[in-house]
Amino acid sequence: MPKRRKRTGRIASALTIVRQARAAAKSALESLREEIRTTASKLSKLVAEEKSFRLDLFGAPARRGGRGPGRPRQARGKRPATVRRARRKGTPRAERFFRKLGNTFTLEDVRKIAGGKAGISLAQWSRAKRIRKAGKGYQKVPA
């Protein structure tokens, strides 16, 4: 077997510098990992202390079901019933208001009957061309 020649010159010095840099980086990385481990253990101890402190101050937390806050309890095996609004029976309210009015009326007359819905009723009737503006008030349009 032939013997290896020793490297001399610039190449040898460059390689030693690279080896030294890698060794320094390796030791720095290992020290960072050790610091992270110690910090994590300190943090877990602090979290445990906080939990015990809260338990001592406020007592055990109220136990809730598996549902989120504000959710109603559910009977086992049953599906929740869908909540529906009751269907309004009879003629629409605007129609009832319209029948109560005379042939000519003012906004005040409508407000007495319809209350807060007066503006909605007037707009609805004018779109349907059931009323028209007449002088200081409104007039029903003959069908």
Give the model confidence (pLDDT) of 52-109 as tens digits.
888 888 887 766 556 667 776 766 666 666 777 877 766 677 888 888 888 898 888 8
Are 131 and 141 contacting, i.e. CB atoms less than 8 angstroms apart?
Answer: yes
Q: Please report the pLDDT score of residue 33 as a whole number.
A: 96
Q: Which two tokens stand for residue 42?
A: 């300190």
- Longest pairwise C-alpha distance within the chain: 124
Residues 6 or more apart whose Cβ sits within 8 Å of residue 125: 94, 98, 131
Quote the percentage of the chain above a pLDDT of 90.
Answer: 25
Greater model confidence, 79 or 11? 11
Report the 10 Å Cβ neighbour count for 94: 18
CA distances from 111 to 21, 45, 106 (A): 89, 70, 9
For the cut 80, the answer to whether the pLDDT of residue 137 exceeds it is yes
Is the CB of residue 93 less than 8 Å from the CB of residue 117? yes
The CATH number that domain 93-140 falls under is: 1.10.10
